[in-house]
Each structure stands twice: as C-alpha cells, then as structure tokens.
Amino acid sequence: MGLQLYNSLTRRQEEFEPLEEGRVGMYVCGPTVYGHAHLGHAKSYVSFDILVRYLRYLGYNVTYVQNITDVGHLTDDADEGEDKIAKEARKEKKHPMAVAEYYTRSYFEDMDMLNCVRPDISPRASGHITEQIELVKTLLEKGYAYEVNGSVYFDVLKFKDYGKLSGRNIDEMIAGTRVEVSPEKKNPVDFAIWKKAEPNHIMQWPSPWGMGYPGWHLECSVMSMKYLGMTIDIHGGGMENKFPHHECEIAQSEAANDAPFVKYWVHNNMVTVDGQKMGKSLNNFITLKQAFSGSHERLTRQYDPLAIRQLVLNSHYRSPLDFSDAALYAAQSGFDKITSAVIEVRKKIKSAPDGEVDKEAAKMLDVLKEKFEKAMNDDLNTSVALAVMFEFVRDTQKLLEDSKTTKQTLEAVDGLFSLLGGDVLGIVKDEYEQTGSVDNELMDKLVRILIEQRNEARKQKDYKRADEIRKKIDEAGVVLEDKPDGTSWRTK
RNA sequence: GGCGGCGUAGCCAAGUGGCUAAGGCGACGGUUUGCAAAACCGUUAUUCCCCGGUUCGAAUCCGGGCGCCGCCUCCA
C-alpha cells in the first residue's frame, strides 16, 4: 500500500497516483510578503515540506512550486480593499517592491531555519503580469468574464461547478451576501480578475482595459499552469483559503482550459495561540523570529527552530494546532532527547569496535522503518511517525550502553536516523557542533582542560571545588556529564 | 443565521467497531552517581464532554444536548 492522501475535493482519503508515473507537480499557495512570517506559516509550510520530502523519499521526481504574492492581494472586501503590500509600503514609506523584497528574504530565512526545503520554483506574481493579462483575455473571449469601467470580473454564474471544493451553493451565497456589493458587478459573488488602478496607485501595469493590476486569485492559476501544466497533481494551501481563493482558482483555470485544474487538493488546518485565533489585536501574534529568540511576552524562553518544527509534526496537519509556551517547551524537550541520542551515536562511531552489523539490530531497524512508512502512508501521520522515532531512540540507547556494539551497527543506526529523522522529518541535522566541526576543536580542547582540573579535584575528593568548576562551566552554557567511560560535555 | 471541524490523563497528542486506549512533556518512585546531569526501569485515563440508541461488543456508528474553534470579509 502506497501513500494515502486526504483529498479535500472528494472529501475522502485516496491512494496517491500521480498523473504521470514517477513525476509529481505540486503547487502550494505561498505567502503574501507584507510582514514577517509567523507561527501559522510554520505549520503550513512545514506540513507541505513534509509532503514534498516524503514524496521524494518514495522516489517521485517532484517539482515543487510555491509562489510569492507581491501584488494583488487586497486588504478587505473581496474587491474594494487596498493592496496589502501597497498599504504596508505607505506605512513604511518604501516602494512596494522594496517591501516585498524585504519580507521575501525574511520569509526564506525563517523557512531555512525551520529546515523547509526550498521550492524548486518561487515565482512572483508581479513577474507574471503578461500571463495574467493573457488569462483575463481568454476568459473574456470565452464569455466567462466581463469588463466594466476598466475592471474585469469573473462571471460566476457561467461556471456551473463553482462551489464544488468548498461545498457551497451559489444561490445561497447570493442570498446570504452581507458585504456591500460593488455596483460594477453583475452578481455579488462575481470576483475581480483585473482591477482598474487609480492614477496615484504605484503598482500598476498597462492592459487592454487600461492601467491596472491583477486580482489575487489569478496569480496561482497562471503560475501553476505555466510551470506545471493545465492539470497538476497536488495543490496545497491553508483551509481558510478553500473559499474563496481556491474556489476561484478552479473556476478561472477550468473555464480557461476546459481541463481539470487539480487532482489532489491538500489543505492544512489552522493555528491558535493559547487557545485563541492568532491576531495582531489579541496580543498573541508571534512571528517566527520572535519564537526563535524568545522575545515575546507569551514565551518564557527561546526555542530551537527545529523544536517548533517538531511541535508541528507532533499533531496531524489536518488538525488545528495550539501553540502555547507549555507545548513548545514539551516539544523542545522531546527534540533534545532525539538530538542527543543522534549525537551520542555519531560520537561513539569513532571509538566503537570494528565488526559486522549486528543481526538483531539490523532487524530492529527494518521494523522501525516499516512502522514509520506505514504511519506516513496513512495521510502523513507524523504524530505516529514521531512516536516511532522515540521508540528508535530508546532502542538506540540500549545499543549505546552495550560496549560490544560495533562501529558498523552504529553506522547503520545513524543511517536510519539520517534517512527518517533527517531526509523525511527534517529534525535530525547532517552536522552537529558537538560532533567535531573544525570550529569546535578549539572549544573541545578548552573544555577538556577544565574537565581535567575538575576530575583532579574529584580524585582528591575535593567535591566543593569540583562542583564549583561544573557550576561555572554550566553558567557559560556547557553541561558536563560524568559517565562510566569519562566526562563528556555538551552545549545547553 | 449558513457551512465545516473538534471535545481522549496535569499538558500536547495518536487511535474511528473487538487483543492490556500509541507516543511525547510534566510529576512521582527506583537503578546509576561523591552529588548532579544524562540514560534506563516502573507508576501516572477501569476509561475517551454529557444523555439516550444501534450492536454479542463503541472512545470509535446513530440521535439529542453542552462546550470550543474555523470559514462565510483579508489571512498560512
């Protein structure tokens, strides 16, 4: 049994079968770059990162496209609001493209910290204006759109499948309309695909309908089509975007192409902070940079970016995740537990005796791998996959305690940690400071001098002095651990 | 008001018809230690929000209630 994925379109878990054998085209709605990335982004993009990593683990050749929205995303009512980036630019007194560039870099920095693999293609909406204009033209030609006073709207009533993703009914939506409706629209549910720009609007481009800018939903249709084709395997995004964003994408794309837009829709759930929706007004809005540094009043300490990643993996991507200091703390402890086991294995490889890979250990690794894959195949059940990792850690500790464990066995253990914990889950690193990078040799030498002094004191039963040395080293951020085979150290 | 999701131990969280209800954190007890730390072992839900029903059997299915959350308007 291969990977089973929950498809929001069919509301069922389905066997994943790509359109073309061995190849997967995946598009994920990227950020609108008008502010620093926050905990919500972490959950979303770590979740899709896991999907990409696991598909690659299974041997698929994945093309991962994630856009950067740098124009067209309006601040409020579907079509009357201001462009988010333009608004931020005015506030910061910068050019909108400077704002977009700044936060794009910030976004990539944060995602790198979370160990998310970079998308293969990160297209910018503003770099695809011509393609967007072409799509608007096509929709006008095919009668799915109409122009009014320099703006172009999609005529929702013409697209009979509208509502199939979000389970909405057009008539009910029209009846339930409560926001002020633009008088330009034929119908309240119609949405803008091209907006006329006022003369003072900085972000605007010439089009057959005059100066203007694209509607938000358009970019994803255009860029996914351009880089992945008319029909793609997977489209990912946050649940809150099912409607209207993804519904509109489907309408535009399928109306223009007469082909299905997406085979599998994958939606991840939302984040709350201390049980409440995260919002700037609630004082619980935490950016990733704040979480990494611990500089937020809701946080008692700083957290390792990978501990945040681990917290995301601790629950299912389709379940809501509540970030709290307690939850982060627990994730950090669990992350440390896995990390230190991996470090111990890598350290011990250097001194372990040569020999064959132990048969029982090899079998244990096979069983763990099988359990892990079974969990991941079940709609990416990372919670269970993590439980397998903890089982793996426990088994590993037993091997570490046994002095007969061979170098080759430990290498096999390390190999599986790197594969499952590293390649797939992204919580095990390739390198750790403690395992002997060049920079660290000096540090190691210095700490060893202190350890010698302390052990000298211990030998003479001068425990007061020994504890004093240990305390001072601890204050400097280094923890000493006395073990049967000597004293080792690690950074806090 | 409409649509959707959720309610499992002190906390986080799997499990969705049947062996002893995963795992993590925390707490407590033990082994180890000069003391610690780390590691290991053990304990920590007779019960899955409540009330009914279906069934030989339900945390899991159905009905009702209560509570929380999301979307419906920008959001990952």
Secondary structure (DSSP) of A358-395: PHHHHHHHHHHHHHHHHHHHBT--HHHHHHHHHHHHHH
The neighbour count for residue A167, using CB atoms within 10 Å, is: 11
> How much is the ipTM here?
0.89
Both structure tokens of A394: 């426990």
- Taking the CA of residue A325 and the C1' sugar atom of nucleotide B13, their distance in angstroms comes to 16
Q: What is the pTM of this model?
A: 0.92
- Taking the CA of residue A11 and the C1' sugar atom of nucleotide B54, their distance in angstroms comes to 26
pLDDT at residue number A78: 43
**Nucleotide nearest A383 (Cα, C1'):** B14
**Nucleotide nearest A455 (Cα, C1'):** B34
pLDDT at residue number A281: 64
Question: Is residue A89 within 8 Å of residue A33, measured between CB atoms?
Answer: no
Alpha helices for A237-316 (secondary structure H): 247-257, 288-293, 305-314
**Nucleotide nearest A41 (Cα, C1'):** B76
pLDDT at residue number A274: 78
- Which residue, counting CA atoms, is nearest to the C1' of nucleotide B68? A275
pLDDT in tens, A399-424: 998 888 999 999 999 999 999 999 99
- Taking the CA of residue A390 and the C1' sugar atom of nucleotide B35, their distance in angstroms comes to 30
- Taking the CA of residue A357 and the C1' sugar atom of nucleotide B24, their distance in angstroms comes to 30
Distances, alpha carbon A461 to alpha carbons A454, A472, A485, A489, in Å: 10, 19, 19, 21
**Nucleotide nearest A457 (Cα, C1'):** B34
pLDDT at residue number A445: 86
pLDDT at residue number A79: 45
Q: CA A434 from chain center: how many Å? A: 27
β-pairing, A212-214 vs A191-196, is antiparallel
pLDDT at residue number A145: 93
pLDDT at residue number A377: 92
Contacts of A353 (CB under 8 A, 6+ apart): A404, A406, A407
Specify the DSSP element, H or E, that contains A441: helix A438-459
pLDDT at residue number A434: 59
Q: Which positions in strand B are less than 7 Å from the protein's CB atoms? A: 1-6, 11-15, 22-26, 33-41, 68-76
Contacts of A360 (CB under 8 A, 6+ apart): none
- Taking the CA of residue A481 and the C1' sugar atom of nucleotide B27, their distance in angstroms comes to 24
pLDDT at residue number A77: 41
Ranges in chain A, pLDDT < 70: 1, 72, 74-82, 174-182, 280-282, 433-440
